[in-house]
Structure 1
């Protein structure tokens, strides 16, 4: 079954360019749906179970979202899709904090600049397979600078409301080790994925070992993070080891 991708971009040339980037980024069979405005994107999402991605309906697994659209702002869609089971990546020309942090707050899993070279965008999208957030180099530097400045000042930095994962901050975030009463809720598949994560396997390697699609592994990892209340594989591995989950 083809992996379903939704590209929301009002500029036809940019949309065609992003289609090429997506096809080059992944080895899986890809089915791309192109939308030029919010309403058409919402319609396509309703056809795949609505904003919650109803069970039994084949949802999009990757959604690329432009911010400035003829009938609104991509931020609106990010908010609406907070519970939608897809990797959501902003693709925009804006690299400033006023766009970056609100997008991350609203659920974006990545943030790419369309002005980057084709090869750079392909490489950044491929990070999804390796379990890393897709971020344009300029955006990654901005995030690191933002939070490092906060540490230098002795405070939390500007009040963005966004907590940077340990993997972005250049190290393992402190993990409060507490008893996790709900760890039994991990499904057998999630426990297997967590075991592989703890041993350092990439998402692509886990998918190969388990005989499933890497997007499915990505879904399991999101569920694991939510259940264990962590935000990176490093935190998940530490907590899993401390609690004897693996």
Structure 2
């Protein structure tokens, strides 16, 4: 199965640039669909504003989302994609906390700055295959600074004040994780992926071992994290070991 990509970006020049970045980053891209506003993306995904996008028989596996759009905020789409089986990466010019943290809380799997060099963006996107979140260097430093200084993770509602971002989008952000689900609810495929994760294999290596696409492995990992109520490979490995899953 080849990878389908969707790029939401209102600037035609930036769209062309991101298309080149995607094609350079992955060798198995089958198609790149471009959209310039939220309305166009919703038509492509088959849902209305404020509704959750549902998976289709042939879904997009990677979606790049700009935040500032002619008809709204990319945060709205991120919230609507909560149940959609795609890796969602913000591509924006904004590196401030007022955009970064609400985007992550609304479900972004990565955050890239379009002002970065072509080679940097390619390198960051390729991290998806290795199971690492694609973050522009400046964004990674900002996150480290926040946690090292004890500021923690600002709430979306606090950061929203005065930011000009839709309050509906922030309100729709995923709630805090609930109690972990029983590990027995992992599917056989998920259990197999978890075993490989615990042994230190990368996403690409797991895909080769299991004979599936790396985007499929990535989907399994997201489901594992959600069911086990963890947020990293290390946490998943420790919990798996304690509960005798591997």
| TM-score, structure 2 normalization | 0.86
Q: Secondary structure at the match of 1:127?
A: helix
**1:204-236 CA distance string (max 9 Å, x none):** 000011100000000000010011110000000
RMSD: 1.9
**Equivalent pairs, count:** 222
Query: 2:154 pairs with 155, 159, 184, which one?
Result: 159
Q: Structure 1 residues 4, 115: CA separation in 2 closer, same or farther (over 3 Å shift)?
A: same
User: In structure 2, what is the Cα distance between the partners aligned to 1:23 and 1:158?
Assistant: 33
User: In structure 2, what is the Cα distance between the partners aligned to 1:3 and 1:118?
Assistant: 21
What pairs with 1:56-67 in structure 2 (closer than 5 Å)? 57-67=57-67
Gaps in structure 1 of 5+ consecutive residues: 151-155, 163-178
Q: Secondary structure at the match of 1:77?
A: helix
Gaps in structure 2 of 5+ consecutive residues: 158-178
The question of 1:245 aligning with 2:240 is answered no
Asked if 2 retains the 8 angstrom alpha-carbon contact of 1:131 and 1:202, the reply is yes
Deviation at 1:41, TM superposition (A): 0.7
Partner residue of 1:168?
Answer: none
Query: Runs of 4+ in structure 1 displaced over 2 angstroms?
Result: 50-54, 156-162
Deviation at 1:180, TM superposition (A): 6.8
Partner residue of 1:212?
Answer: 212
Q: Secondary structure at the match of 2:129?
A: coil
**1:6-31 CA distance string (max 9 Å, x none):** 00000001000000000111121331
Asked if 1 retains the 8 angstrom alpha-carbon contact of 2:101 and 2:154, the reply is no
Q: Structure 1 residues 98, 209: CA separation in 2 closer, same or farther (over 3 Å shift)?
A: same
